[in-house]
């Protein structure tokens, strides 16, 4: 009997030691995966335009997941944090703009300046947020490092995402440009779509210059009437009513209000007693200036200029048309 009591007492002692060790063991809460990433990588951003990524893919990590930017590096490995995080002055619309705001004074009354960072990262979830202030950042390829943390701990993710910042493109909108050579008053013979090219001198004056050439690069003379607007249809002047158009022997020149978020600034233009949507502009080269038989060579196009700054040079090459 005395031996049995000893065995029971020893068993209790071992159990007590095990329970004591378990009580001293640190309790780990949550889960932080080694596989946390951005689904879209590289992430493409157009300079001067707003872009927002999806949140990080957390692979089951315990939420909330807190994210901090550690560094931005350029293609040469240099730290460029300040380029993305220093607030820049941008101009935004403070109200709706319409063709009734046809003077520069009326337009300026609906613009406001704000200080905005080119980049922010959402502290929870890690969404990447690029603003129009990226106009101040040099286009190129950048890599960012981040840290993520939750109740489980913290991890550093090097090269978490590659950012391709590309220059803004000035573009013809869907459905334009188009062109026709009219053989009769009722039948049209289509020729190839005109080619539109746009270049910008960001340090130049706030002027948009439109030049028309034939297929071989010969320039039509607006001042001599070799290119003219079409009656009853919008020209670029309807989208830019703020200043008088200047005609030269090579181009139409339009001054525009500088430092506006988008130009044209309204989506519907006033044309005579009616209106027209879609940024479309219509011009014609009279038949007497064209070698091809038929009537007038007519061209329509739509183009806009995001974050309008500086001088723009637009060339419309009329493929299939040859100047006399």
CB 257 within 8 Å of CB 107: yes
| Sheet bearing 207-214, strands edge to edge | 195-201, 311-318, 207-214, 252-255, 246-247
Residue reference for tokens 């990524």 = 53
Q: Give dist(CA 179, CA 136) in Å, integer.
A: 38
Can you say whether the dihedral through the CA atoms of 134, 49, 93, 244 is positive or negative? Answer: positive
CA dihedral 169, 175, 181, 184 (to 10 degrees): -160
Tell which phi-psi region holds residue 5, choosing left (phi > 0), alpha (psi between -120 and 50) or beta: alpha
Task: Tell me the pLDDT of the chain averaged across its residues.
Answer: 85
The string of pLDDT tens digits covering residues 131-163 is 989 988 999 999 999 999 999 999 999 999 999
The string of pLDDT tens digits covering residues 10-19 is 555 555 555 5
* CA 71 to mean position of chain CA atoms: 23
Q: Give dist(CA 10, CA 26) in Å, integer.
A: 27
Q: Is the pTM of this model over 0.85?
A: no
- Every domain of the chain and the residues it spans: 43-166, 171-318
Bigger pLDDT: 111 vs 175: 111
The CATH homologous superfamily of the domain defined by 43-166: BT4661 domain 1 (2.60.40.2710)
The string of pLDDT tens digits covering residues 22-52 is 555 556 678 999 999 999 999 999 888 899 9
């Amino acid at each position: 009997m005395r031996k049995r009591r000893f065995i029971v007492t020893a068993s209790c002692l071992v159990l007590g030691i095990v329970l004591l060790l378990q009580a001293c063991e640190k309790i780990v809460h949550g889960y932080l995966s080694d596989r946390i990433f951005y689904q879209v990588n590289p992430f493409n951003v157009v300079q001067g335009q707003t872009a927002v990524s999806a949140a990080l893919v957390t692979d089951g990590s315990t939420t909330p997941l807190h994210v901090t930017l550690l560094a931005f590096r350029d293609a040469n490995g240099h730290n460029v944090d300040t380029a993305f995080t220093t607030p820049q002055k941008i101009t935004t619309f403070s109200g709706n703009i319409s063709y009734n705001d046809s003077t520069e004074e009326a337009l300026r009354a609906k613009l406001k300046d704000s200080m905005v960072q080119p980049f922010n990262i959402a502290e929870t979830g890690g969404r990447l947020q690029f603003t129009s202030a990226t106009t101040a950042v040099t286009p190129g390829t950048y890599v960012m490092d981040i840290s993520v943390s939750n109740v489980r701990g913290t991890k550093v993710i090097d090269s978490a995402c590659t950012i391709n910042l590309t220059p803004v493109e000035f573009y013809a909108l869907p459905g334009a440009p188009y062109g026709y050579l009219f053989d009769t008053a009722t039948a049209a013979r289509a020729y190839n779509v005109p080619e539109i090219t746009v270049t910008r001198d960001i340090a130049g004056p706030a002027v948009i210059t439109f030049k028309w050439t034939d297929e071989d690069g010969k320039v039509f003379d607006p001042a001599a009437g070799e290119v003219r607007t079409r009656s009853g249809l919008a020209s670029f002047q309807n989208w830019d009513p703020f200043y008088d158009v200047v005609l030269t022997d090579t181009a139409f020149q339009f001054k525009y209000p500088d430092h506006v978020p988008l130009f044209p600034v309204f989506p519907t233009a006033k044309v005579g007693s009616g209106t027209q949507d879609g940024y479309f502009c219509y011009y014609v080269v009279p038949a007497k200036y064209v070698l091809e038989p038929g009537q007038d060579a007519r061209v329509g196009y739509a183009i806009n200029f995001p974050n309008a700054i500086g001088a723009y040079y637009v060339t419309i090459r009329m493929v299939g048309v040859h100047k006399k």
